[in-house]
Structure 1
């Protein structure tokens, strides 16, 4: 009985914020503070989503998800070794940190003209933009996390007679996994936030392209559908990563 009550309470806490958002949305539209024509009602946006689902929406979702997946995969694959080296070697971090922060601060959308010049307007150009955003987000998380690993783990391992290879495989890698997963989560968030910018590059399909096409014809309900789809997919991917994190680093809880 207590378990059932706890589950209901947790479910209510999860659902409540969404109901508040929908209520605020209806309230804002009815308040007169904003022209109702500029704020399509939630039920109208939902109806438009169902209509689009019979046409291009699923293909747009697929294309955007594919672009984000490829960009994040390549970005994190490059960010993990770079971030590890920066976090592990303090001298290297001091040397390269200003450069990393310089490029991290550049908005990907500002690079679009150069990306078009160097990579054209195909899928490679879109992947480059998402790679750029994912890489620098991942590097920052990795090297900040690695830099905080206590040297005591290495010292204790050496005291117990572990070789360098054993230390790396049984101490460093397990301690690095949580930071890798966090880097993936952060990179995913940044990539989805950058998606619309990447799809400015002559995209015919994708949620960013859907939003841009709708903005050209002032189709606000379609714009809302595109924005909500981006948020929902990003949320689902983040929840999946959280579940994977709980499984892969369950040993931390046992140690604690």
Structure 2
């Protein structure tokens, strides 16, 4: 037993070391670039100064308020996209002919940059938060619809046929077989949708009349030449996206523990 415990501990230490390589490498390259003058020092503050000022901004609460404003907007947009996207994706995926009839529309708008839709959503919803959430929700909705429909259409036919051979009804097959078969693809779409929604919200906060949020903070710091604040805000925005992805990965592994089996 002690050997098993020490082996588990060693594995955890090795995993932690592997995860630490990326941040250490980023910090090292950044420090060398700033210290060695690879980039104009007036344009690239040292990582130490950036992290120190970022910690001070978090401690004072100013960055925390912007962080939560952006996170709430992303949350609203994803909630709308899930509520509207999952049922439609299921309906479209259940019948291949139905999906093919609207495939062009879905693929066309999914391939259109979400930022190109800003003027349209500004005309429809004005300059407030509603426009920002709406355009992010629309972009995320398209990704979720596509992935859910794809997951339904590509459910394992062997399991569906096995359920039918045992006399299961269509509703029972959908509830007990197809629904669970589509969850892996649904989570893939959800992770992609969250990342896309965050990008759209950040850009919208930069250019669509925002008074708070990480996007507004980044562009405001750039205009006022507060570079440590700008770089720190970029790091925090990236940490938000990374954290959301980790949460979804944890949920996926907890809920879909049978994936690939």
**Deviation of the 1:119 alpha carbon:** 0.6
Where do 5+ consecutive residues of structure 2 fail to align?
1-5
The reply to whether residue 58 of structure 1 matches residue 64 of structure 2 is: yes
Superposed CA RMSD in Å reads 1.6
Where do 5+ consecutive residues of structure 1 fail to align?
none
Count of residues paired in the alignment: 254
- 1:215–1:223 CA contact under 8 A, matched in 2: yes
- 2:35–2:46 CA contact under 8 A, matched in 1: no
Q: Please, what TM-score do these two structures have when normalized by structure 2?
A: 0.92
> Which shifted more, 150-159 or 140-149?
140-149
Q: For 2:89, which of 63, 79, 83 is the aligned residue?
A: 83
The reply to whether residue 101 of structure 1 matches residue 129 of structure 2 is: no
The reply to whether residue 43 of structure 1 matches residue 48 of structure 2 is: yes
The reply to whether residue 227 of structure 1 matches residue 238 of structure 2 is: no
Tell me what 2:218 maps to.
211
**Segments of 4+ moved more than 6 angstroms:** none
> In structure 1, what is the Cα distance between the partners aligned to 2:259 and 2:123?
48
Tell me what 1:20 maps to.
25
Tell me what 1:29 maps to.
34
Q: For 1:192, which of 181, 193, 198 is the aligned residue?
A: 198
**Deviation of the 1:213 alpha carbon:** 1.0
- 1:108–1:197 CA contact under 8 A, matched in 2: no
Q: Please, what TM-score do these two structures have when normalized by structure 1?
A: 0.93
Tell me what 1:6 maps to.
11
Aligned counterparts, 1:77-226, within 5 A: 77-199=83-205, 200-226=207-233
* 1:32 alignment partner, SS class: coil
**Deviation of the 1:230 alpha carbon:** 1.2
- 2:151–2:183 CA contact under 8 A, matched in 1: no
> In structure 1, what is the Cα distance between the partners aligned to 2:185 and 2:101?
22
> In structure 2, what is the Cα distance between the partners aligned to 1:252 and 1:103?
30
> Quick one: structure 1 residues 42 and 91, their matched pair in 2 at CA, closer, same or farther if it must change by over 3 Å?
same
> In structure 1, what is the Cα distance between the partners aligned to 2:90 and 2:230?
40
